[in-house]
Amino acid sequence: MRFGKGKNKTKDKWAHHVIKDKKLYVRHGTSLMVYDIAAS
């Protein structure tokens, strides 16, 4: 994910990962990905 503000316009920024109801939520830029991490 990149923000265009200040001197470092292309510096990467990281969002926190979230685990809820045995699912891992990962945001990257404008995308939100959900992974099922429940044990089979």
Structure confidence at residue 9 (pLDDT) = 54
- The per-residue pLDDT for range 1-40, each reduced to its tens digit, is 555 555 655 556 678 999 999 999 999 888 899 999 997 6
The answer as to whether 40 is a domain residue is yes
- Which pair of tokens denotes residue 40? 């089979």
The answer as to whether 36 is a domain residue is yes
Distance CA 18, CA 40 (A): 20
The answer as to whether 1 is a domain residue is no
SS3 category, 2: strand
Structure confidence at residue 14 (pLDDT) = 72
Sign of CA dihedral 28, 34, 39, 40: negative
The answer as to whether 28 is a domain residue is yes
Query: 3, 32, 4, 5: which is closest to 16 by C-alpha?
Result: 32
If one counts the domains in the chain, the total is 1
Structure confidence at residue 38 (pLDDT) = 93
Q: Residues near 14 by Cβ (< 8 Å), separated by ≥ 6?
A: 1
| Residue ranges making up the domain that contains 27 | 14-40
pTM of the model: 0.61
